[in-house]
């Protein structure tokens, strides 16, 4: 048997760490190569890791919820490498060296492994010897006696007592048995000492103490069985707060208030926070807004839903906006660019990012080469992207290489906003909710479907004139989708 350790790999994105979300196996489980063993969360997505080994899970080295660096051991697997079957057959007599050549588990028997008769086995098939009283192994010549006791009969004459002999009490004069016995006694005593030192407390009290940062050994126990009670913890915390206040020490209520929930910042949330701060304080944002009469867009969406070619495909006004952004960017290429310090990289392709709110936080997967897609293909791509993001299964590749982003805040009933540009891009469009509002048409006030578009731009690349022309082009498509046919 060989113990194999699996280390957290780099999933191919150059990431340096990941969170252990959920183990799919437990110690003792049998796994095959490529069986999913754990689900991890990187800064970009959820990833399922397969097992590189086939064997039995020995231990899980990292708990769920922990953040670990790439290269950290996370699981060990016991692999059967066939070593237990390598037992040489006896040539001229009992194989006295067999126990030294079989690194198998204590419950395996050479007779079963090599197909030998029980009489040829010196390990025995009877009860396992006690670990504390077992004598250390030492090599013996083939002609030596096989039994541990010097006075025992030769192995060929008395094979039966051999299995039970190791379990017999050793003579008092034997120094080899004294050392293991004393070490075993020391281990037991050490365990007893640890049990004595352990503070008694119920699990809820232990959890509360951990949340408050209190060492239970410092708390005076008043429980009937000598355990620390919840009231003991409250009294200790009150005393600690009073001491801090009297000493003028700064204290945050959040550190002790059990009503405050602490959510670790990791994975997608941490990556989003870092990216947004970097973008907000490195790119000079400028935002503009435009109200749009989207009544014809609503009519067009209604016709698409009824069209046979779009049967089974979810269609929404976001589809028309996405197509409008692609169309307008082709007319104003500099909004589809990257600021590179000493140069501007204008991209003549569109990887359209769609900001998606998921249970794991905000994600911005993108549709590759969206300018090449027909309206139907774009609708399918949007549906697939949204479904995958909601399930938390967006692959890392879909999070890379975005060139321009759309955020549909209107789905939450919001009129408009000032979105922050996705890092590496220079423009983002916010799509507000579409509502019926009074609108003046040909001098008359009529109810129309109105929405508000908000755009944020990196002023180093997109100045006021360019941003205005781009937003006007997007608005023109929402007002008259037939322009897409030109």
Q: What is the CATH number of the domain that holds 373?
A: 3.30.559.10
Q: Is the model more confident about 451 or about 162?
A: 451
Position 437 in a domain: yes
Domain CATH for 198: 4.10.320.10
Across the strands, what pairs with 450?
Answer: 293, 435
SS3 392: coil
Is the pLDDT score of 372 beyond 70?
yes
The answer to whether 459 is a known catalytic residue is yes
Least confident of 10-24, 181-195, 265-279, 299-313: 181-195
Residues 277 and 334 in one domain: yes
Is the pLDDT score of 128 beyond 80?
no
Position 112 in a domain: no
**Cα–Cα distances in angstroms (integers) from residue 71 to residues 43, 58, 375, 446, in the given order:** 17, 19, 45, 65
Is the pLDDT score of 155 beyond 60?
no
Residue 273: pLDDT band with limits 50, 70, 90: confident
Is the pLDDT score of 136 beyond 60?
no
Domain CATH for 34: 2.40.50.100
Tokens 């046979």 -> residue: 308
Tokens 């000079």 -> residue: 284
Please report how many Cα atoms fall inside a 13 Å half-sphere around the Cα of residue 25, on the Cβ side.
Answer: 28
Please report how many Cα atoms fall inside a 13 Å half-sphere around the Cα of residue 33, on the Cβ side.
Answer: 4
Position 431 in a domain: yes
Residues 195 and 342 in one domain: no
Residues 282 and 210 in one domain: no
d(CA 115, CA 118): 9
Position 159 in a domain: no
Position 85 in a domain: no
Residue 250 domain boundaries: 183-264
Position 124 in a domain: no
Residues 350 and 297 in one domain: yes
Strand-pair category, 337-339 with 30-31: unpaired
* pLDDT score at 65: 82
Residues 365 and 426 in one domain: yes
**Are the C-beta atoms of residues 47 and 11 closer than 8 Å to each other?**
yes
- Residue at which a domain ends, from 241, 264, 287: 264
Q: pLDDT of 394-441, one tens digit each?
A: 888 888 899 999 999 988 889 998 999 998 999 999 999 999 999 999
Number of separate domains in the chain: 3
- Residue at which a domain ends, from 264, 286, 321: 264
Position 223 in a domain: yes
Is the pLDDT score of 261 beyond 80?
no
d(CA 429, CA 47): 30
Dmax (CA) for the chain in angstroms is 120
- Residue at which a domain ends, from 79, 108, 143: 79
Q: Which residue in 244, 376, 459, 469 is the catalytic one?
A: 459
Across the strands, what pairs with 67?
Answer: 19
Position 151 in a domain: no
- State pTM to two decimals: 0.53
Residues 24 and 54 in one domain: yes
């Amino acid at each position: 048997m060989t113990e194999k350790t699996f280390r957290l790999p780099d999933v191919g994105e150059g990431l340096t760490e990941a969170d252990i979300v959920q183990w799919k196996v437990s110690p003792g489980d049998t796994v095959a190569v490529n069986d999913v063993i754990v689900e991890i969360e990187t800064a970009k997505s959820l990833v399922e890791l397969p097992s590189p080994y086939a064997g039995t899970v020995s231990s899980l080295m990292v708990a769920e919820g922990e953040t670990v660096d790439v290269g950290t051991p996370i699981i060990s697997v016991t692999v059967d490498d066939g070593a237990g079957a390598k037992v040489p057959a006896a040539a001229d007599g009992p194989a006295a060296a067999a126990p030294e050549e079989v690194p198998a588990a204590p419950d395996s028997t050479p007779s079963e492994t090599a197909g030998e008769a029980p009489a040829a086995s010196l390990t025995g098939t009877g009860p396992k010897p006690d670990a504390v009283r077992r004598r250390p192994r030492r090599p013996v010549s083939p002609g030596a006696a096989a039994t541990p006791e010097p006075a025992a009969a030769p192995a060929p004459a008395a094979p039966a007592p051999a299995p039970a002999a190791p379990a017999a009490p050793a003579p008092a004069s034997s120094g080899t048995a004294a050392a293991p016995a004393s070490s075993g006694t020391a281990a037991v005593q050490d365990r007893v000492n640890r049990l004595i030192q352990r503070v008694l407390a119920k699990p809820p009290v232990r959890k509360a103490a951990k949340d408050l940062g209190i060492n239970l050994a410092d708390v005076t126990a008043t429980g009937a069985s000598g355990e620390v009670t919840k009231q003991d913890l409250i009294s200790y915390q009150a005393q600690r707060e009073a001491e801090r206040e009297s000493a003028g020490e700064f204290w945050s209520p959040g550190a002790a208030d059990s009503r405050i929930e602490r959510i670790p910042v990791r994975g997608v949330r941490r990556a989003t926070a870092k990216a947004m701060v970097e973008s907000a304080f490195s790119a000079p944002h400028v935002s503009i807004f435009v109200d749009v009469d989207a009544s014809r867009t609503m009519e067009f969406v209604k016709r698409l839903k009824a069209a046979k070619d779009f049967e089974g495909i979810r269609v929404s006004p976001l589809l028309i906006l996405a197509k409008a952004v692609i169309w307008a960017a082709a007319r104003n290429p500099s909004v589809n660019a990257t600021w590179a310090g000493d140069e501007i990289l204008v991209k003549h392709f569109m990887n359209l990012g769609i900001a998606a709110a998921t249970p794991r936080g905000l994600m911005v997967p993108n549709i590759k080469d969206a300018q090449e897609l027909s309206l139907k293909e774009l609708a399918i791509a949007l549906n697939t992207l949204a479904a995958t993001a909601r399930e938390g299964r967006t692959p890392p590749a879909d999070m890379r290489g975005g060139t321009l982003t759309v955020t549909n805040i209107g789905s939450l009933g919001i009129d408009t906003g000032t979105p922050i540009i996705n890092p590496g891009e220079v423009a983002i469009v916010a799509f507000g909710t579409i509502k019926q509002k009074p609108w003046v048409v040909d001098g008359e006030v009529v109810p129309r479907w109105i929405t508000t578009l908000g755009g944020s731009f990196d002023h180093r690349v997109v100045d006021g004139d360019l941003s205005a022309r781009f937003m006007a082009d997007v608005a023109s498509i929402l007002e008259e989708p037939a322009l897409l046919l030109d």
